[in-house]
């Protein structure tokens, strides 16, 4: 009997070893605990056990057994020397040599870090060891021997791949040569330009320079000026400089535009016959007032049984943008549309983004649609996903739809009100299951005709926005479930009616693009809970569901309060970053086991990939290159981050520009960041953020307390803490560096805080980490 048991356990152990090694080999620089591994392995492990070991095993029992087996295997691998226990309970692949590879992140002070994929165990690189690496480059790093209780440190030995070679900057002419001084604070070397490569640029102009060589032993790279942007301070010049700084092209290449122009503006009649024809059903779009690229539309009709058929119709970009075409290569390189303060830089040429693909009213359009039958409680009874042709009857702005929701009157008011009611029920159910209601404040500017900011306001997320959001979430989740779950619906004939209990087929795991979001980082969450407690807010952290409900209660109670933005931003920082990957671990923030991005293919490349994969699998095909798909996922995540940084840079530029003529003015503010170099303060009235430098606080010597997000005067014991209310004066603005400097206007008084009576000095933490991101 015992022998039989042992025989049955051996294949399971071998299977788990193989799965564990797969994960660590794919992510050699990343650390994992046994829970993270279990999430990735669980589905395949359950299938393996039931098929080869014990068909009667229960899912609950196997899940518990899996975690025990993983802990045992991880310890075995550490003992064998295959893995390192980087810190208690966290494991990492042991390097075969004293070298590693990764992306370098350079600080404004010259030091750098080799980034890990999970924001842990970054490797420090001293300024002298950065060599010729530039920010964002993929590099090969030599690892120094690690001393006890010290962080890993290394030295760049080779630049494997440049993140970018073009930089926006200002020309400094110097006789027979010039230098271009880059705008980016992370580009710490000027680019040397020989006289014959200056390209008629004038001293002080903004230009784009391309690095063409960097000889060994030289301090500066050699470059050439490829584009004249114009004079600093002009709106178009500065916005184009920001785009260039983050690696986004300013225009489409001619061969890409030419390919787009060849695409017919009208839908092909033969293709229409292959699709489900929904042109007779009431359909409309709801978008921002200034939008032109309409990705999505909703249709609605009441069924004979009293239920509602809701269609989520998404522009069929993949019908026009074919794999490996010029359009496809350009869209992949860009990864996403970029939204600056005053303009959109589209992922696709205007002929497609605002024309052929855009779901404009009174035009027939090709779509990929998800159609749902919902009852009065917003429960999904049936669904169908496939290719369609639609005809939008009306284009609403969010303001138009909101007016209908608030008054009950207007064109298609019945349809809009029904959709709003169903959306609220979908939203309530999502939160009941543990979704988190993060609603980030969005800063907007009123601009004059030259792009100069006249005022600042905050965009409010109203019911019309939430209506669209809920149905997009439903479509994204349903598409991910269709492919990600073990049973998936067979390909349906165009025009076929939905059938309850449709024929299914058991399939192996199919490579797919998932939008995943891991749970909160434990250490950050505990720190945030402690800090929120000082403001009188209690946060439960015992389990994931309790955390979600507790955070939602916190977000609700913060609304309208001065500390809202600071605490919301700090709460968001406790979370892991959402990303694209083929390895599904679910989406913690939305409380979905399966989630993807399907609904915005005009402006997001991952959505184009999802459309292609969906069509591929629905047609019964399975040959997908999983390794290539994961590479595309990583690239898409990187471009999303880059686009977000460009958007923030444009907002910061406009904030500096807005305060330029307000020097000397005094405002109420909230301390939004605390670092060893100063206090960041956000103005309550307009959300502009500036820095009070520690060297300007000359009434005392202040020590930085990382643990409690504060600085404390060594003599007066005066404390300035994250979230404190202060009054500031605007003293300096620097458009080139996108910096605003404040000084305190408290006349020696202590800052205002809920715990103002508590002025005891806390233990100073001298660690290297800070709440603010590295500069």
DSSP string for 631-690: HHHHHHHHHHHHHHHHHHHHHHHHHHHHHGGGTT-EEEEEEEEEETTEEEEEETTT--EE
301-306 — which CB contacts under 8 Å span 24+ positions?
Answer: 303/373, 306/375, 306/376
Res. 124: pLDDT tops 50:
yes
- 48-52, 130-134, 696-700: which range is least confident on average? 48-52
Res. 722: pLDDT tops 70:
yes
**For the chain, what is the radius of gyration of the CA atoms?**
28
**Is residue 532 within 8 Å of 567, Cβ to Cβ?**
yes
CA atoms of 466 and 490, how far apart (whole Å): 32
- 470-474, 478-482, 483-487, 737-741: which range is least confident on average? 483-487
Q: Which residues pair with 106 in a beta bridge?
A: 112
The pLDDT assigned to 772 comes to 41
Token readout for 511 is 């490579």
The pLDDT assigned to 149 comes to 57
Token look-up 């000027």 returns 190
Indicate yes or no: pTM above 0.85: no
Token readout for 707 is 């643990």
The pLDDT assigned to 61 comes to 65
HEC per residue, 226-276: EEEEECCCCHHHHHHHHHHHCCCCCCCCHHHHHHHHCCCCCCCHHHHHCCE
The pLDDT assigned to 60 comes to 67
Question: Which H/E stretch holds residue 709?
Answer: none
Label residues 127-150 b or e (16+ Cβ within 10 Å = b).
Answer: eebbebbbbbbbbbbebbeeeeee
CA 643 from centroid of its chain's CA atoms: 9
- 22-26, 352-356, 484-488, 500-504: which range is least confident on average? 500-504
Token readout for 261 is 């122009």
C-alpha distances (whole Å) from 41 to each of 10, 117, 129, 441, 486 are: 17, 19, 39, 37, 14
Token look-up 């500065």 returns 238
pLDDT digits (tens, 9 = 90+) for 46-88: 777 767 766 666 666 667 788 888 888 888 888 887 888 877 8
Determine the average pLDDT of the residues in 154-174.
94
Task: Outline where DSSP puts E strands in 676-768.
Answer: 678-683, 689-693, 702-705, 710-713, 719-721, 725-734, 739-744
Q: How many residues does the chain have?
A: 775
Determine the average pLDDT of the residues in 33-51.
80
- 3-class secondary-structure state, position 427: helix
Count of Cβ atoms closer than 10 Å to residue 162 Cβ: 13
Determine the average pLDDT of the residues in 178-189.
94
Token readout for 567 is 């605490």
Q: Which residues contact 519 (CB under 8 A, 6 or more apart)?
A: 544, 547, 576, 588
Res. 367: pLDDT tops 80:
yes
C-alpha distances (whole Å) from 690 to each of 41, 657, 772 are: 46, 13, 13
Count of Cβ atoms closer than 10 Å to residue 111 Cβ: 17
Token readout for 543 is 């389990």
Q: Which residues pair with 683 in a beta bridge?
A: 669
Q: Which residues pair with 446 in a beta bridge?
A: 455
pLDDT digits (tens, 9 = 90+) for 663-676: 999 999 999 889 98
CA atoms of 487 and 503, how far apart (whole Å): 10
Of 594, 705, 604, nearest to 334 by C-alpha is 604
CA 743 from centroid of its chain's CA atoms: 33
Token readout for 485 is 């779950």
Q: Which residues pair with 581 in a beta bridge?
A: 514
β-bridge pairing 394-397 and 283-287: parallel
Question: Which H/E stretch holds residue 285?
Answer: strand 283-287
pLDDT digits (tens, 9 = 90+) for 294-326: 999 999 999 999 999 999 999 999 999 999 999
Q: Which residues pair with 154 in a beta bridge?
A: 143
Of 729, 749, 732, nearest to 669 by C-alpha is 729
Alpha-carbon dihedral 679, 683, 684, 688, rounded to 10 degrees: -120
Of 131, 188, 185, nearest to 156 by C-alpha is 131
Q: What angle do CA 489, 432, 561 make, to 5 degrees?
A: 130
- Region label for 329, one of left (φ > 0), alpha (ψ between -120 and 50) or beta (otherwise): alpha
**Is residue 491 within 8 Å of 619, Cβ to Cβ?**
yes
Token readout for 263 is 């695409």
Res. 494: pLDDT tops 50:
no
Token readout for 9 is 């356990």
The pLDDT assigned to 504 comes to 36
The pLDDT assigned to 768 comes to 32
CA atoms of 606 and 636, how far apart (whole Å): 7
* Mean of per-residue pLDDT scores for the chain: 86
Angle between helices 398-407 and 463-484 (to 10 degrees): 110
The pLDDT assigned to 749 comes to 54
The pLDDT assigned to 239 comes to 96
Count of Cβ atoms closer than 10 Å to residue 266 Cβ: 8
CA atoms of 680 and 272, how far apart (whole Å): 57
Residue 548: what are its φ and ψ, rounded to 5°?
-60, -50
Question: Which H/E stretch holds residue 368?
Answer: strand 364-374
Q: How confident is the model at residue 754 (pLDDT cuts 50, 70, 90)?
A: very low
Residue 61: burial class (beta carbons within 10 Å; 0-12, 13-18, 19+): exposed
């Amino acid at each position: 009997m015992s022998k039989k048991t042992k025989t049955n356990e051996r294949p399971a152990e071998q299977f788990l070893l193989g799965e564990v090694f797969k994960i660590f080999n794919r992510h050699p620089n990343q650390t994992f605990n046994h829970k993270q591994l279990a999430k990735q392995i669980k589905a395949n492990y359950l299938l393996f056990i039931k098929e080869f070991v014990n068909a009667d095993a229960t899912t609950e029992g196997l899940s518990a057994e899996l975690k025990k087996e993983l802990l045992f295997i991880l310890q075995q691998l550490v003992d064998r020397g295959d893995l390192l226990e980087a810190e208690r309970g966290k494991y990492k692949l042991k390097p075969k040599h004293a070298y590693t590879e990764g992306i370098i992140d350079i600080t404004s002070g010259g030091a750098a870090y080799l980034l890990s994929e999970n924001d842990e165990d970054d490797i420090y690189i001293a300024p002298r060891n950065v060599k010729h690496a530039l920010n964002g480059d993929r590099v090969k790093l030599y690892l120094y021997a690690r001393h006890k209780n010290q962080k890993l440190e290394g030295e760049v030995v080779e630049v494997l791949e440049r993140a970018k070679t073009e930089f926006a900057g200002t020309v400094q002419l110097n006789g027979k040569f010039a230098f271009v001084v880059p705008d980016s604070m992370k580009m710490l070397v000027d680019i040397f330009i020989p006289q014959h490569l200056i390209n008629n640029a004038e001293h002080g102009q903004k230009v784009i320079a391309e690095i063409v060589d960097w000889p060994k032993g030289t301090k500066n790279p050699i470059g050439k000026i490829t584009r004249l942007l114009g004079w600093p301070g002009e709106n178009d010049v500065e916005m184009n400089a920001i785009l260039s700084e983050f690696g986004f092209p300013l225009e489409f290449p001619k061969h890409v535009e030419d390919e787009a122009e060849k695409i017919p503006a009208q839908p092909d009649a033969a293709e229409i016959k292959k699709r489900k024809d929904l042109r007779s059903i009431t359909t409309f779009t709801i978008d921002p007032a200034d939008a032109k690229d309409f990705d999505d539309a909703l249709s609605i009709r009441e069924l004979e049984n009293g239920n509602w058929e809701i269609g989520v119709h998404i522009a069929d970009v993949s019908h026009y943008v074919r794999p490996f075409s010029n359009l496809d290569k350009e869209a992949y390189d860009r990864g996403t549309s970029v939204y600056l303060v005053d303009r959109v830089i589209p992922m696709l040429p205007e002929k497609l983004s605002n024309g052929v693909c855009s779901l404009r009213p009174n035009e027939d359009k090709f779509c990929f649609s998800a159609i749902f039958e919902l009852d009065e409680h917003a429960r999904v009874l049936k669904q169908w996903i496939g290719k369609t042709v639609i005809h939008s009857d009306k284009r609403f702005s969010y303001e138009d739809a909101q007016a209908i929701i608030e008054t009950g009157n207007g064109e298609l008011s019945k349809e809009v009100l029904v959709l709003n009611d169903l959306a609220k029920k979908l939203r309530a159910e999502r939160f009941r299951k543990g979704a988190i209601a993060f609603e980030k404040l969005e800063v907007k500017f009123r601009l004059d005709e030259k792009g100069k900011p006249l005022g600042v306001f905050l965009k409010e997320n109203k019911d019309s926005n939430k209506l669209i959001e809920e149905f997009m979430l439903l479509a994204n989740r349903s598409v991910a479930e269709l492919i990600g779950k073990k049973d998936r619906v067979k390909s349906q004939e165009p025009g076929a009616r939905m059938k309850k209990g449709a024929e299914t087929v058991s399939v192996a795991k199919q490579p797919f693009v998932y939008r995943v979001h891991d749970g909160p980082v434990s250490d950050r969450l505990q720190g945030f809970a402690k800090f929120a407690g000082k403001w009188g807010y209690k946060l439960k952290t015992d389990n994931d569901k309790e955390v979600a409900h507790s955070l939602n209660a916190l977000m609700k109670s913060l609304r309208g309060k001065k500390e809202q933005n600071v605490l919301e931003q700090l709460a968001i920082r406790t979370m892991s970053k959402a990303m694209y990957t083929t390895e599904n671990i679910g989406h913690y923030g939305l409380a979905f086991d399966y989630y993807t991005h399907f609904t915005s293919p005009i402006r997001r490349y991952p959505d184009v990939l999802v459309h292609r994969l969906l069509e591929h699998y629905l047609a019964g095909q399975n040959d997908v290159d999983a390794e290539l798909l994961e590479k595309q996922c990583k690239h898409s995540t990187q471009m999303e981050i880059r686009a977000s940084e460009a958007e923030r840079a444009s907002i910061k530029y406009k904030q500096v520009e807005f305060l330029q003529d307000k020097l000397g003015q005094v405002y109420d503010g909230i301390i939004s960041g605390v670092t060893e170099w100063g206090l960041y303060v956000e103005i309550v009235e307009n959300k502009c953020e500036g820095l009070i430098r520690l060297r300007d606080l000359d009434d005392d010597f202040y020590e930085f307390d990382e643990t409690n997000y504060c600085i404390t005067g060594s003599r007066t014991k005066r404390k300035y803490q994250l979230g404190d209310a202060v009054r500031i004066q605007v003293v300096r603005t620097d458009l080139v560096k996108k910096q605003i400097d404040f000084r305190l206007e408290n006349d020696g008084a202590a800052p205002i805080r809920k715990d103002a009576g508590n002025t005891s000095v806390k233990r100073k933490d001298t660690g290297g980490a800070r709440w603010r991101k590295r500069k």
